[in-house]
Amino acid sequence: MNNKSIDGLQRRSGTKTAKINSAASKKRATVKTNSSLGVNKKVIKRKTIGITDGKKDLKKVIAENERLDRERKTSVQNDESVKEYLSAIQDIDPTDLVEVPRKEKSKAWYKDKLKNKKADKQKKKHKIAKRVAIAVVLILVVGIGALYFYLNDFVSTVTDNGNILNVIFSDPDTPLEKDENGRTNILVFGTEGYAMDDPNYDGGFLTDAMMILSINQDSGDVKAVSLPRDLKMQRTCTATMKMNEVYWCEYLDYLNSPNKTNDLKKQKEDEGGTALAKKFEEVTGLKVHYRVHVNWAVLIDTINALDGVDVCFYYQNNKCPEDVTAIEVSDERGLSEQSYNKIYFAYETNKKYHLVGYQALEVARARNASGGYGALNGNFSREYFQQRIIEATARKAKEKKITIETVLKLKQTMGDNIRTNFKDTELKTLVKLVTTLNTEHLETISLTEANLLTTSYINGISYVVPAMGTYEYDNIKSYLKTIMRGEDYITENASIVVLNGTDASGIASNEKNDLEDEGFTVSQIANSPDEKGLSDFDGIKIYQVDASAKKTAAALKKRYKAEIITEIPESLKIYDCDFIIILGNGYDN
């Protein structure tokens, strides 16, 4: 038998022997420590005889296993392939065995092996990268899903069941609703409570801050008009009948309801906002397109999220830096709020102050009701301060740029403390609009300074009423209508005397009405002096008494298409006014 035959026989025999040994190994006893015997004795378990009870006689178990071992050896010796192998190797001389030389590997073999090794590594890298990518995608999906529900809850709350997807996919250039002057009017009203749903807060649902922000979307021009909380109404749900009760009277149905459901709450919030908007339209003549209801917590957290606002207080002469919001006060010392010998705050004039949320709120609410200085006009001063703080906030928002981080900071407080009737598709437009507002020229319109509102005591109660008379709003409407058209001469509030230089009657009276409809202030009408050049002449003559009223002079020159005369005749110097208009023959207004 040659070496190849022996080698093959060895392999076959070895395989068979391995199978036999494997089978025998499966029958080999596994050793356990039987702790129940109290000593470290061994129990032999064999599958073939099913011995599992460690309490059987150990000698019998050992004898039985020895018998099985003998049978296994006999079985191996009787195997034909083993006999053939043993017979073959008996005649072999060990010296004839030659070591088979190891086959040398070629360079190509090593290259292939290296290539395969690199390929295997690359596959492993791809597997790892794939697993990482899957993990990242899963994290993103979970994160985006959580963010979606987080922001969707916010959008739904502040826009009356809006959807975040509508916000995301809406066009930021979609225009908001406008009036005939191209302006969007937003009613902003605030309640005093620090929790909108806390009925126990004293006065928590009285709207002690009410204003219209009128915005020109094209130019970014902003005008703010406030109405005082003590403005007398014809009817509310109380005997006091003040403007700040209108919202509360509608919302009262929810507060008194035994079944306070969310649907009822939203319904009454909407009805309260709608009722207040109608009152604003009745008094101002301005169409209210949108409503925003906030409480003071929003002001605090918004300003904190913007890292504070910068303001400066001044008395008469504005010497404040240009990069801050200037706030005029009625005392040269500055602004301070005090009560019962306690000083809440005190700010000096012509100094820059950085206010955080609660400090800005203190200024917005200042009215010197219990003491202090700088807010001589009480509630009227408070309304003015509120407008200035809003201006400072808008300025900071524009400088800082509103980001998703800022929105997330505000989400919780705004979601709990703000309600609007904006559509979800309009929110992106609104955010973009805030960043384009011309905050440096935010114009605050004071109906009190324009002599359109005054105070009055009725039945022992202090009210604010129109100067024309209680519930008489025509002058207010005409004034605001002219301002919203963009006529900047209104702010000068220059007084005009209109004289009739003809023989016809009623000309000066009719002209007075037309001028007032356009926002001019006519203080007096009369007949012109009967002298040459001042009566019985053709056309119109305009005399300017106050040289500082340049905007009004330009507006009159444009309206009448006539030159302004600065040399005043002696007979006209009896009039205390800024301009004198004499209507001559043939004038057609």
Question: pLDDT (tens digit, 9 = 90+) per residue, 51-73?
Answer: 444 545 677 777 777 777 777 76
Sheet holding 335-339, edge to edge: 342-347, 335-339, 372-373
**Tokens linked to 355:** 């206010």
At a CB cut-off of 8 Å and minimum separation 6, what does 243 contact? Answer: 207, 210, 227, 228, 229, 230, 231, 232, 233, 279
Look at residue 24 in the predicted model and tell me its pLDDT.
42
Domain spans in the chain, listed from the N-terminal domain onward: 3-93, 168-465, 487-583
Look at residue 121 in the predicted model and tell me its pLDDT.
65
pLDDT-based confidence at residue 9 (cuts at 50, 70, 90): very low
Specify whether the CB–CB gap between 290 and 270 falls below 8 A: no
Separation of alpha carbons 8 and 14, rounded Å: 10
Q: Is residue 403's pLDDT more than 50? A: yes
| CA-closest candidate to residue 566, choices 582, 584, 579, 576 | 579
pLDDT-based confidence at residue 41 (cuts at 50, 70, 90): very low
Question: pLDDT (tens digit, 9 = 90+) per residue, 130-178?
Answer: 666 666 555 555 444 444 444 545 555 555 555 555 555 555 667 788 8
Separation of alpha carbons 303 and 136, rounded Å: 36
Task: Give the CA distances from residue 566 to residues 412, 456, 480, 503, in Å, rounded to whole numbers and listed in that order.
Answer: 61, 40, 30, 26
Q: Is residue 460's pLDDT more than 70? A: yes
% of the chain with per-residue pLDDT over 90: 30
Separation of alpha carbons 363 and 383, rounded Å: 11
Stated as kind and residue range, the H or E segment containing 582 is strand 579-583
**Tokens linked to 95:** 């010296």
Separation of alpha carbons 98 and 321, rounded Å: 105
Look at residue 199 in the predicted model and tell me its pLDDT.
44
Look at residue 180 in the predicted model and tell me its pLDDT.
84
Residues 556-583, mean pLDDT to the nearest whole number:
94
Look at residue 52 in the predicted model and tell me its pLDDT.
47
Question: pLDDT (tens digit, 9 = 90+) per residue, 319-369?
Answer: 899 889 999 999 999 999 988 778 889 999 999 999 999 999 999 989 898
Q: Is residue 126's pLDDT more than 70? A: no
Q: Considering only 28-32, 293-297, 338-342, 372-376, which range has the smallest mean pLDDT? A: 28-32
Q: Is residue 273's pLDDT more than 70? A: yes
Look at residue 574 in the predicted model and tell me its pLDDT.
93
Look at residue 122 in the predicted model and tell me its pLDDT.
66
The CATH homologous superfamily to which domain 168-465 belongs is: LCP protein (3.40.630.190)
Separation of alpha carbons 21 and 543, rounded Å: 129
Look at residue 470 in the predicted model and tell me its pLDDT.
92
CA angle, corner 26, sides to 23 and 29, nearest 5? Answer: 135
Q: Is residue 37's pLDDT more than 80? A: no
Chain-wide mean pLDDT for the chain?
77
pTM (2 d.p.): 0.58
Look at residue 34 in the predicted model and tell me its pLDDT.
39
Question: pLDDT (tens digit, 9 = 90+) per residue, 487-514?
Answer: 778 778 899 999 999 988 889 999 999 8
pLDDT-based confidence at residue 372 (cuts at 50, 70, 90): very high
Task: Give the CA distances from residue 199 to residues 202, 240, 276, in Å, rounded to whole numbers and listed in that order.
Answer: 8, 20, 20
Second CATH level (architecture) for the domain 487-583: 2-Layer Sandwich (3.30)
Look at residue 79 in the predicted model and tell me its pLDDT.
63
Expressed in angstroms, the distance from the first to the final Cα of the chain is 139
Look at residue 408 in the predicted model and tell me its pLDDT.
55
Look at residue 194 in the predicted model and tell me its pLDDT.
41
Look at residue 19 in the predicted model and tell me its pLDDT.
44
Question: pLDDT (tens digit, 9 = 90+) per residue, 213-267?
Answer: 998 887 778 888 989 989 999 888 888 899 999 998 998 888 888 888 888 888 8
